[in-house]
Amino acid sequence: MTAESQTRAAHPPGSRTVRVPLGDRSYDIRIVHGDESGGFGPFAREALEATRAGRSCRSALVVTDSNVRALAARHAEALAAQGIAAEVAVVPPGEGSKSLEQAAELLDRLIALRADRHSAVVAVGGGVVGDLAGFVASTYARGIPLLMAPTTLLAQVDSSVGGKVGVNRPAAKNIVGAFHQPSGVWIDTRSLDTLPPRELRCGMAEVVKYGVILDPAFFEAVERAAAAVLALDPAAVAPVVARCCELKAGVVSEDEREETGLRAVLNFGHTIGHAVEAVAGYGGPFQHGEAVAAGMVAESRLAERLGWIDPGLTDRLSRLLRLLGLPTSAPGLDPRALIAAMTLDKKNAGGRIRFVLPRALGSVELTDAPAEGDVRAVLDELTAAD
């Protein structure tokens, strides 16, 4: 393949590119629908060549789960065509794989491959695979190149972008982790065609989040396009994915490592949502997007109690989430256990639980203002029997 044809393959007609501007750690997100041109391989090589370590990349470990093993094998073949010898490591699907034990197995696999600082890790899968593979890439040899090829909507619009990687401990989600930016993110929205409907709905929770925290016009667009996105109409899906990536890229470029507090806005719904996941059990009745959906409603109710918003905003949010088939409550969970789980949230400061709460549609604020009684009342409502 000539250099010109490689460039065409890496930038197929109709593709969209979102740049994440981070100085010498900047990278591109390439959004396509279908990879008939064989674009992943040229894109991967182009992304790696833009980095010092990647220019010497000749080997890679492709991390995936059993749900998308065949797609990962095709990605490995595409890398081989670029002179990058790739092996595939398959982990069990589900949140349980985001563990130190699974990370250790992958690190041992890299050692067995004689990987060095110029080897790459390629994550092909959803958010679990991306977080796990990224954590391994961040720790092996103190950091090696990482490429993301997210295959779920949640990963495409959120977790694959921004460099947050990590694993869970039994009591707390993502409590062990690092910041490790990828060299590039390849999003093929056609991979969503085989996504179970529940997984697709979970991704829509993060889509809705972006509208609430940053872009009221986008929230309105999602209200109008909800049915088309759930039907996987490519004309509806691509703009939604691209806009979410643009919004997150803007936040990450201004607060890459959560040092100014701006990036915390991305955690709307997550203080309570992560607690729901932990208390219900990872891999249990609430997937991440479902827990975040319920968490957004509860945190919006907290904002009502502070007098920041009127109930109309929460009601509108709840209607959209229900339209998307997402839960707005978490019946049966113990409010006291949820509070205990929230005390381990990474946003906390001075022993106080902090929340990201809406001031208006498109505007949120990180705060520890809610009183304990208000938090308990909201959690009682969240967990009440239907």
Residue 41 marked in a binding site? no
Residues recognised as catalytic: 142, 164, 206, 248, 258, 263, 267, 270, 274, 288
Q: What is the pLDDT of residue 14?
A: 78
Residue 73 C-alpha from the chain's centroid: 23
204 token code pair: 């829509």
Tell me: is residue 151 an annotated ligand-binding position.
Answer: yes
Q: How many residues does the chain have?
A: 386
pLDDT at 6: 64
Check residue 213 and give its pLDDT. Answer: 98
Q: Is 346 annotated as a binding residue?
A: no
| Amino acid making up residue 269 | G
Class of domain 3-194: alpha beta
Give domain 197-383's CATH number out of 1.20.1540.10, 1.10.1330.10, 1.20.1090.10, 2.60.40.3880.
1.20.1090.10
pLDDT digit string, tens, across residues 67-102: 999 999 999 999 999 999 999 999 999 989 999 999
Stretch(es) of the chain classified as CATH 3.40.50.1970 = 3-194
* 193 annotated as ligand-binding: no
206 is annotated as contributing to ligand binding: yes
Q: How far apart are CA 17 and CA 15, in angstroms?
A: 7
What mean pLDDT, rounded, does the chain reach?
95
Domain with CATH 1.20.1090.10 in the chain: 197-383
Q: Is 325 known as a binding-site position?
A: no
Sites in the chain below the pLDDT cut of 70: 1-9, 386
Reference 305, options 209, 239, 242, 371; nearest CA is 371
Does the annotation place 260 within a ligand binding site? Answer: no
In this prediction, residue 12 carries a pLDDT of: 75
pLDDT score at 171: 81
pTM recorded for the entire structure: 0.92
What is the pLDDT at residue 243?
Answer: 98
- Radius of gyration of the chain, Cα coordinates, nearest whole angstrom: 20
